[in-house]
């Protein structure tokens, strides 16, 4: 996902594979992962000749926000979960949150 989030345009499986410097991954392995990400709704693909090009459905920030919402939804006591979360934030993060809420 990091590779797709960082890209300016859709990437082929080979593009993704080449961006993973130092990892000995077969193109079929990269295609399998991209296919799974597509089934999960995290990426879309479009035909580009004989290949497909893949693009992230949302930004990294949108994805993280969704994960945070999912985690909150799973908490039986949302208030307690939020209090614990805020208690673990750095002062500058709490200040940024106050600015966003203000």
Say yes or no: 7 and 47 in one domain. yes
pTM of the model: 0.79
Distances (CA, A) of 38 to 31, 45, 97, 102: 10, 8, 32, 37
Give how many domains the chain has, as a whole number.
2
Residue-range definition of the domain harbouring residue 33: 2-56
Chunked into runs of 10 residues, the chain (102 residues) has average pLDDT values of: 96 93 88 97 95 96 95 95 94 95 92
Q: How far apart are CA 75 and CA 65, in angstroms?
A: 16
Say yes or no: 7 and 52 in one domain. yes
Q: CATH code at 13? A: 1.10.10.10
């Amino acid at each position: 996902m990091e590779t797709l989030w960082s890209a300016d345009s859709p990437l082929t499986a080979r593009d993704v594979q080449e961006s993973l410097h130092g990892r000995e991954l077969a193109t079929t392995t990269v295609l399998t992962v991209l296919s799974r990400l597509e089934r999960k709704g995290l990426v879309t693909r479009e035909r580009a000749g004989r290949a497909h090009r893949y693009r992230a459905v949302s930004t990294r920030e949108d994805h993280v926000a969704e994960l945070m919402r999912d985690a909150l939804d799973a908490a039986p006591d949302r208030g307690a979960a939020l209090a614990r979360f805020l208690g673990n934030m750095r002062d500058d993060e709490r200040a940024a949150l106050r600015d966003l809420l203000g």
